[in-house]
């Protein structure tokens, strides 16, 4: 969910740590004492990334889960998190969610900061993980000839979002409590060409991965599994927050985790990172959800 | 500047990483592959930690400098930062400040996130550093018999704050652009009992250090150097944002950096962590600036 924006483009001009891969990716990679660390930082803002009035425990869950999802896409094992928390009316409930998500993913709290502020309140989280495979997978490793996969169905978060607005908390779970695919990411890391989590919509994130790799992704619009009615396929492919893993692998190799093949990587053609059912798409506009961009 | 609040007290109930010292301190300490890392996370909120309308370059500077100051208090060398940035009207100016502060302290940008949101806008920063001395200094290492020191004058940030409100940008520098005492922290780390940066006021931070150490700090109110008129001494000792280092050392040892002796560590007496000119102070209320607490 790292920001994609002109600001990030400007930031790219700043000096980077020799061990850091930089800002074209969802996480920073840093060599320390013979280990390879992966660091991510995401912010959530009330009214933008979470609904106003949403259960604070859900906010805590999502804050942690979205960062752990970035670690999952790197095949990294969580070592801990630091939380930036803006105090509110129901801090104890936020804490309950924090406790739940950290114990579910066996991830310790390392520290953090609390401040007053808002509305809207905002929350930050930094996750630090240990890479289980080097080189750490990135967005830029897709090669012409690779097959493109996604680990699971899309549109679950959108359906959950609508259920939450309708007051149905249980069916809203995929939106309220996204699941970081940590085990899947670790299994895939040694094999993939490129990998990232689908946070901003399958089409937009495919476009970004193809762009970072200098390739063109030819995607079959009907291939990705969706949980919405067929009539809403376009929405399912454009809505974010599902946190499935998008990855490429050499053609003919069987993925070690359940995944659906959705297309093929080609040499860059027509200046279009994405070709959808044969139609070249040059611009990311309208492909998905762009956070703060 | 880590939050001190009932929320943090609750967070202390969460499982901590075996290598992490936890939330009673300004930074987390984590052992990784033979290195000792120090991690800090601070948030700044418009209207609370920075003035509304303040130069975005100053905001960037302060965001980085306050976190590097936490590293300084641990004797740690910065390895990099991750920034959580809420987009606004003058992102380029924020970027200029970020570039200035990172190049001044030779610290690379590792990554981050950009979001929409506010007003009020908020910003988060995570700094990661490498400890230069183990064990890493903490708040809790003060021992009865130690002498108490502060590295420099207090009240400079308050004077700068007033200058900024009066429109005098140059004399406002100590408030606009605090200086993390990284070299001083590294020189002191092998020698100190306890060490922390004075972010929330000398008296409040002394109270906290004494409390964390299970001791009583007997402080001579007239000893700390101040940059304000004598009539405003109480304000200088209670206002935060100066980022001087507060530390204790065995009596009779000469500090390796310029510092002023301000008192002596005693065994805890009268249930009061602080004794000011002979008067025991049990409660931290009114001693300084409590962020979001």
Q: How far apart are CA A245 and CA B103, in angstroms?
A: 36
**How do residues A113-133 score in pLDDT, each as one tens digit?**
888 888 888 999 999 999 999
Q: Across the strands, what pairs with A261?
A: A149
Q: What percent of chain A has pLDDT over 90?
A: 73
Q: Give A-chain residues touching B32 at CB under 8 angstroms.
A: 32-33, 35, 37, 79, 130
* Interchain CB distance below 8 Å, A28 and B80: yes
Q: Is A155 exposed, middle or buried (0-12, 13-18, 19+ CB in 10 A)?
A: buried
- A105 annotated as ligand-binding: no
Q: What is the reported pLDDT for A24? A: 52
* Interchain CB distance below 8 Å, B84 and A41: yes
Given a contact cutoff of 8 angstroms between Cβ atoms, the answer to whether A185 and A245 are in contact is yes
- What does residue B217 show for φ and ψ, rounded to 5 degrees? -95, 120
* Interchain CB distance below 8 Å, B117 and A115: no
Check whether A14 has a pLDDT greater than 90. no
* Interchain CB distance below 8 Å, A84 and B42: yes
Q: What is the reported pLDDT for B47? A: 85
Q: What is the reported pLDDT for B144? A: 98
- A49 annotated as ligand-binding: yes
Residue (of B45, B11, B44) closest to B28 by Cα position: B11
* Interchain CB distance below 8 Å, B291 and A102: no
Pairing between β-strand A147-150 and β-strand B146-150 as defined by DSSP bridges:
unpaired
Interface-testing mutation among B20, B113, B134, B199, with chain A (most A C-beta atoms within 10 A): B113
Q: What is the reported pLDDT for B5? A: 47
User: Which residue in A17, A42, A82 is closest to B79 by CB distance?
Assistant: A17
Would you report the helix, strand and coil content of chain B in percent, each value rounded to 5? Answer: 25, 30, 45
User: Which residue in A34, A44, A92 is closest to B10 by CB distance?
Assistant: A92
* Interchain CB distance below 8 Å, B122 and A86: yes
Structure ipTM:
0.85
Q: Give B-chain residues touching A25 at CB under 8 angstroms.
A: 111
Given a contact cutoff of 8 angstroms between Cβ atoms, the answer to whether B64 and B129 are in contact is no
- Poorest-pLDDT segment among A213-217, B23-27, B147-151: B23-27
**How many CA within 13 A on the CB side of residue B275?**
17
- A146 annotated as ligand-binding: no
**How many CA within 13 A on the CB side of residue A39?**
34
Check whether A204 has a pLDDT greater than 80. yes
- A70 annotated as ligand-binding: yes
Structural domains of chain A in order of their starting residue, each with its CATH number: 6-131 (3.30.1330.10), 147-281 (3.90.650.10)
SS3 A104: helix
Give the residue with greater pLDDT, A218 vs B2: A218
As a whole number, mean pLDDT of residues B26-37 equals: 89
Q: How far apart are CA A250 and CA A142, in angstroms?
A: 9
B189-to-A36, A99, A287, B249 alpha-carbon distances in Å: 27, 34, 52, 10
């Amino acid at each position: 969910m790292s920001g994609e924006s002109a600001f990030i483009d400007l930031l790219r001009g700043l000096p980077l740590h020799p061990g850091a891969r930089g800002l074209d990716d969802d996480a920073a990679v840093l060599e320390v004492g013979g280990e390879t660390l992966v660091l991510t930082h995401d912010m959530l803002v009330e009214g933008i990334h979470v609904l106003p009035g949403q259960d604070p425990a859900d906010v805590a869950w999502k804050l942690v889960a979205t960062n752990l999802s970035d670690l999952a896409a790197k095949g990294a094992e969580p070592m801990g998190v630091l939380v930036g928390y803006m105090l509110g009316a129901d801090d104890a409930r936020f804490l309950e969610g924090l406790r739940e998500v950290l114990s579910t993913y066996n991830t310790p709290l390392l520290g953090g900061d609390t401040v007053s502020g808002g509305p809207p309140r905002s929350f930050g989280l930094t996750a630090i993980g240990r890479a289980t495979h080097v080189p750490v997978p990135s967005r830029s490793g897709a090669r012409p000839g690779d097959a493109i996969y996604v680990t699971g169905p899309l549109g679950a978060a959108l359906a959950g979002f609508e259920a939450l607005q309708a007051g149905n908390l249980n069916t809203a779970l995929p939106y309220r409590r996204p699941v970081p695919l940590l085990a899947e990411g670790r299994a895939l890391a040694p094999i993939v060409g490129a990998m990232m989590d689908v946070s901003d919509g399958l089409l937009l994130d495919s476009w970004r991965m193809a762009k970072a790799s200098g390739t063109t992704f030819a995607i079959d619009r009907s291939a990705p599994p969706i949980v919405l009615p067929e009539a809403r396929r376009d929405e399912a492919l454009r809505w974010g927050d599902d946190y499935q893993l998008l990855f490429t692998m050499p053609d003919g190799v069987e993925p070690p985790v359940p995944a659906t093949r959705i297309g093929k990587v080609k040499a860059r053609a027509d200046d279009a990172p994405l070709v959808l059912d044969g139609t070249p798409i040059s611009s990311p506009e309208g492909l998905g959800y762009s956070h703060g961009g």
